[in-house]
Structure 1
Amino acid sequence: MTVVAAGVALFGALFFALGAALQQVEAVRTSEHALLRLARRPRWLLGGLSIITGGGLHIVALSLGPLTVVQPMGVASLLFALPISAALMGRRPAGAEILAAATVSAGLAGLVLIVPPAWNAPTLNGSETATLLTVTGIAALLLWAGSRVAAPSLRAGLLAAGSGVLYGATATLTRVLVKGTWEIWLILLIPVPAIVALMLLQRAYSVGHFGVSFASLQVADPLTAVAFGALLLGEPLPVGPGGVAVAVGAAGLACVGTVALARTTPLSH
């Protein structure tokens, strides 16, 4: 079943990458990032359906195999996304792009594997939820403000990082809902950061530099979820000098790969 879980997770990563590439192509070709306009474009909607399919397959994979096998497979979405996006734009990805994407993926896989699994049922009270949303909102706002004066590659990365922070908060709320207490107020809150995250991500896609946008999203989302998990949900972090050193090294590797993508990915792709 572990092999099956890994295979399903890889298919999920492929669907997620395809959906992201389709949405980015629509956003960059039309220079549009307004959701209502993009939602009228069939290929953008197809991308959304593909992303939902990828998420569903990831959940199925988690039900079939251990987290330590399934999560690293999801990291492969970046390696799938770059060649798919390049093909949709009518070009071939450069070797330097693939190498940079592999560097980001290796760093993310390291982060995923080093974080210990959580066994307790997560809970959030009102003040903790307010803290989560406030910190997330401020971080996303600062990243958006920074993107207003940044160069194109950095602008794409900052906007996508803001989206990743919001998606990380969404993942935290969803984890509490699914694995903790089923609360109606959580169901009502979860769409708020998710919708804002989607809006920021389309802005990032419309800038170009798809590799930078997607890598920044892939880095910021899990880091935010792990941070909130540790600070608000009491979930464990890597312990001991060795665990911390590996975590810092993996995060550094992901960041180095993202910077390399900013230097190698064409602006309009």
Structure 2
Amino acid sequence: MVGLLVALFSAVVYTIGLTVEQRALHGSESISINRPLHLVRVLLGNPRWILGCAFAALGSVGLIVSLGLAPVSVAQPAFAAGVATTLLIVTLVRGERITRGEYVALGVMPVALGLLGLSTVDGATTGTTANTPLLVTVSVTTVVACVTVMYLVGGGGRYVSAAAMGAAAGLAQGSAGLQGKGLGGLLADNGLWAAVVPALLSPYPYLYLLGWGVGIVLFQTSLQRSRASITAPVANVVGNVFTVVAGTLLFGESLPEDPLTLALRVGGFALTLVVVVLVRGNVAQAEADTSRLRGEPVRTE
């Protein structure tokens, strides 16, 4: 239960960072993954974006800690659900319109979190070590595939929707999430200071930076084209599924043996995925609204 609470608190901190980043991006020059140097210059030259990025990074560190305290099938969905719910609340507070499906998502998320919390009552198995060669292979292949597909799809100036870019960002961030699980395991097994040397000697921090770097470029571009309550759930749900499935296998975590507890875990995980169905239909409208807000032509391709 502690890991679940840490994941939820981290989600709130992460969401604060996303909100600040979004406001900074909507007031900055247009960025594109096809112009990486210009993209870096725009982002790093924006103090508000850097502040938001710092909060998001702090939330990511909290997720790493939670992954060492709870099974990946609990901590990761709880974090994704917390981000999605908090973003919708922020959207409502700012007076922006949300769809009926998004209202339903606000009601679904507490239920999903409740089911995940109940599924940890009888003692969950938390894996802390992985098959390192297989982890490296899966992580590198995933990130390379994301970059390659986005390059091919967006080649020749073709338009890539915020939702598609958010999904690719989710996969890259999911790869980083696997490294976060590994780092969280080292923290749980060795303690903070004793884990420093093993962490530096492991591939986790370096693969984390690779996945995080690719993910942030894709996500920030999608974030500028739409609003966070649309793109973040898409990225989080895709990354969530990838991290939970791959992490459970790579770290040898077993699902609960009790049928009721297993049903609670699976049900809670499934409900966190429902959010992508609830928000996906409003992506095009959100992109159009954002383009008008920024004074840009509305893209319909």
TM-score (norm 1): 0.73
Give the drift of 1:239. Answer: 6.6
Q: State how 1:65-84 maps to structure 2 within 5 Å.
A: 74=79, 75-84=81-90
Preserved contact between residue 212 and residue 262 of structure 1 (Cα < 8 Å) = yes
Q: Following the alignment from structure 1 to structure 2, what is the Cα–Cα distance between the partners of residues 205 and 228?
A: 26
Equivalent residue, structure 1, for 2:43: 38
Match of 1:184 among 201, 218, 221: 201
Deviations 1:97-141 (A, max 9, x none): 641542673686488556994334312333541233214432564
In structure 2, list runs of 5 or more residues that go unmatched: 33-38, 187-197, 291-301
Deviations 1:52-91 (A, max 9, x none): 333455567789x86799767632222222343566xx64
Which one-letter code corresponds to 2:234 in the other structure? S
Preserved contact between residue 20 and residue 52 of structure 2 (Cα < 8 Å) = yes
Preserved contact between residue 78 and residue 214 of structure 1 (Cα < 8 Å) = yes
Q: State how 1:106-145 maps to structure 2 within 5 Å.
A: 109=113, 112=116, 117-139=124-146, 141-142=148-149
Give the drift of 1:145. Answer: 5.0
Query: Which stretch of structure 1 is more off in the superposition, 202-211 or 21-30?
Result: 21-30
CA RMSD across the alignment: 4.2
The 1:258/1:123 distance shift into structure 2, 3 A limit, reads: closer
The 1:140/1:104 distance shift into structure 2, 3 A limit, reads: farther
Give the drift of 1:229. Answer: 1.5
In structure 1, list runs of 5 or more residues that go unmatched: none
Give the drift of 1:19. Answer: 1.0
Give the drift of 1:42. Answer: 1.6
Give the drift of 1:147. Answer: 7.1
User: Is 1:261 paired with 2:279?
Assistant: yes
Equivalent residue, structure 2, for 1:228: 246
Mark the structure with the bigger radius of gyration: 2
Q: Following the alignment from structure 2 to structure 1, what is the Cα–Cα distance between the partners of residues 76 and 145?
A: 28
Match of 2:53 among 41, 48, 54: 48
User: Is 1:161 paired with 2:179?
Assistant: no
The 1:101/1:45 distance shift into structure 2, 3 A limit, reads: farther
Q: Following the alignment from structure 1 to structure 2, what is the Cα–Cα distance between the partners of residues 118 and 35?
A: 41
Equivalent residue, structure 1, for 2:106: 102
Equivalent residue, structure 2, for 1:210: 228
Query: Which stretch of structure 1 is more off in the superposition, 138-147 or 126-135?
Result: 138-147
How many residues are matched? 262
Query: Which stretch of structure 1 is more off in the superposition, 48-57 or 15-24?
Result: 48-57
What SS does structure 2 have at the residue aligned with 1:27? helix
Q: Following the alignment from structure 1 to structure 2, what is the Cα–Cα distance between the partners of residues 167 and 146?
A: 20
Give the drift of 1:40. Answer: 1.3
The 1:41/1:62 distance shift into structure 2, 3 A limit, reads: same
What SS does structure 1 have at the residue aligned with 2:161? helix
Report % sequence identity. Answer: 20
Q: Following the alignment from structure 1 to structure 2, what is the Cα–Cα distance between the partners of residues 134 and 66?
A: 26
Preserved contact between residue 134 and residue 250 of structure 2 (Cα < 8 Å) = no
Equivalent residue, structure 2, for 1:28: 26
Preserved contact between residue 171 and residue 242 of structure 2 (Cα < 8 Å) = yes
Give the drift of 1:96. Answer: 2.3
Which one-letter code corresponds to 2:144 in the other structure? G
TM-score (norm 2): 0.67
